[in-house]
Structure 1
Amino acid sequence: MLVRYFAAARAAAGTDSESLPLEGPAPARREVEELLARRHPHPPPGQPSLAEVLARSSYLLDGVACPDPHTPVHDDAVLDVLPPFSGG
């Protein structure tokens, strides 16, 4: 799957996107979040951790809002991580 990070998520992850191989049954979005937080445990100085940013972010799965953390994410999916913008 492809994960695309925006704004504070990009800063915390240190990249604007990454490919994430998913094996076996499709994990829930929440499990993908946990995997991403483990892959990026150390934020740049002065930035919140990726785990903190993910906890307050909204998500698009293949271009559609994905508010349910139990939604399955398939290997060919695109997941956009959208933290709150402009303090909102």
Structure 2
Amino acid sequence: MATLTIVVRYFAAARAAAGLEEEKVQLPDGASVADAVAELRRIHPADLPRVLDAVSYLLDGIAVRDLSRRLTDGAELDVLPPFAGG
């Protein structure tokens, strides 16, 4: 089965929950952002799933609104907790 590898970068509370700044994650070819999020929940079951319920994502620097968006090999997925501001 073909796979792709993405780089997941964590920021703020997501970084604290994952316990690292970034990691490489392997997924099946054709995987979506939703598939990546499911894998992150599986890899980091203690604290990260709670944070993932409230985050937003950037895929290669572009905001992700549709989690069914397909990933490409080498893509960067940023996990961004909500930021206060006004």
Using the size of structure 2 for normalisation, the TM-score is 0.85
In the TM superposition, what is the alpha-carbon distance from 1:41 to its structure 2 partner? 1.0
Which sections of structure 1, spanning at least 5 residues, go unmatched?
Answer: 43-48
Q: Which amino acid aligns with 1:33?
A: V
Which sections of structure 2, spanning at least 5 residues, go unmatched?
Answer: 1-5
Q: Which amino acid aligns with 2:69?
A: T
Instruction: Please tell me the root mean square deviation across aligned C-alpha atoms, in Å.
Output: 1.6
Q: How many residues are matched?
A: 81
In the TM superposition, what is the alpha-carbon distance from 1:53 to its structure 2 partner? 1.0
The structure richer in strand per residue is 2
Q: Which amino acid aligns with 2:54?
A: R
Query: Which aligned runs of 4 or more in structure 1 are off by greater than 4 angstroms?
Result: none
1:37 aligns with 2:35: no
Q: Which amino acid aligns with 2:14?
A: A
Q: Give me the identity figure in percent.
A: 49
